[in-house]
Amino acid sequence: MNVKTLTRDLQRVFTNSVILYQDDFYLSDSDIPVASNGLQDWDCPEAFDFEYMKWVLEHAKEHGKLPEKFKSLEETQTLGPTSASEEDIDKIKSSLPDDNKNQQFVLVDGIMLFHASSPLIDLFDVKLMLRAPYAELKKRREAREGYATLEGFWTDPPGYFDQIVWPGYVNNHKHLFINENVEEQLHPQFSALNVPQDIHWPPHKVLQWAVDRINF
């Protein structure tokens, strides 16, 4: 299960919720940083407008909805099917405490929420992180046809995952892990960051785990 799928399934459980997609805060195409190999780097913190995202998140937490002037490009994209069946969703919803059924939630989806200098960390009440093996992440990324951007459309060039995506993930998240090895366990100082015990859990189990973490 990828992060976006989990986020959408969580919205089906917590119906009084809004989703804030980090992808909506990419800079204009012409402002995306260029790596030393000459390729635009869409997978680094500098590719996003974090200050604007922070303002939108603060507004959503205070008012329970996104600012009226904020328009999500991501919501208009074809995001693919959700993973959980209606039966799974109904079962999980029926187990929620009554006070949580009317609680409002802001679900934040993104690839760079927990980088070392993220200004968003202190705004999250619950922090969830999904992990997957290198081979699985590469397979998912290279299966994508491309992405709508503010000024057009982006398609990863050949070799982009190994040249940009994976090194970017490692460089921006190694501080979270023991010995700065992203294949290791989380460092104890980041115990507030929740990660599934098994990266091979089926989607319905990942969803139940996430709901349990939120429903603390």
Amino acid at 64: G
The full set of domains in the chain, from first to last, is 3-214 (3.40.50.300)
Q: What is the pTM of this model?
A: 0.92
Q: What is the pLDDT of residue 82?
A: 66
Q: What is the pLDDT of residue 83?
A: 78
Active site residue 23: yes
Active-site annotation holder among 9, 23, 41, 43: 23
Q: CA distances (Å), 72 to each of 5, 45, 61, 99, 103, in order? A: 17, 19, 17, 29, 23
Q: CA distances (Å), 147 to each of 29, 74, 150, in order? A: 12, 10, 10
Q: What is the pLDDT of residue 140?
A: 94
- Extract the residue ranges of the chain whose pLDDT is less than 50: none
Q: What is the pLDDT of residue 76?
A: 73
Q: What is the pLDDT of residue 64?
A: 84
Strand partners, 177: 186
